[in-house]
Amino acid sequence: MKALVVASGKGGTGKTTLSAAFAHFASAERSVVVADCDVEAANLPIALGAVDVTCEAFGGASEAVIDVAACSACGACVDVCRFGAVEPKVTGQDVGYCIDPWSCEGCGACALVCPTGAVTMRPKQAGEACSGVTRVGPIVYGDLRPGEDLSGKLVTEVRERAKGLAEQHDGTLMIIDGPPGIGCPVIAAITNTDHLVAVTEPTASGVHDLDRLVQLARKLGVSVSAVLNKADLSASGAERIRRYCADAGVELIGEVPFDPALAALLGGMAEGSGMPAPGDDADSPGLSAVRDVWGHVRAVVAP
- Residue numbers of the site for ligand SF4 (CB under 6 A)? 64, 66, 71-77, 80-81, 83, 85-86, 97, 99, 104-110, 113-116, 118-119
Helix 15-27 vs helix 260-270: crossing angle, to nearest 10: 60
Nearest CB to ligand SF4, comparing residues 75 and 221: 75
Q: How far is the CB of 93 from ligand SF4 (least distance, A)?
A: 16
Nearest CB to ligand SF4, comparing residues 96 and 268: 96
Nearest CB to ligand SF4, comparing residues 64 and 238: 64
Nearest CB to ligand SF4, comparing residues 104 and 166: 104
Contacts of 168 (CB under 8 A, 6+ apart): none
Q: How far is the CB of 100 from ligand SF4 (least distance, A)?
A: 8
Q: How far is the CB of 191 from ligand SF4 (least distance, A)?
A: 30
Nearest CB to ligand SF4, comparing residues 65 and 248: 65
Q: How far is the CB of 112 from ligand SF4 (least distance, A)?
A: 9
Q: How far is the CB of 69 from ligand SF4 (least distance, A)?
A: 10
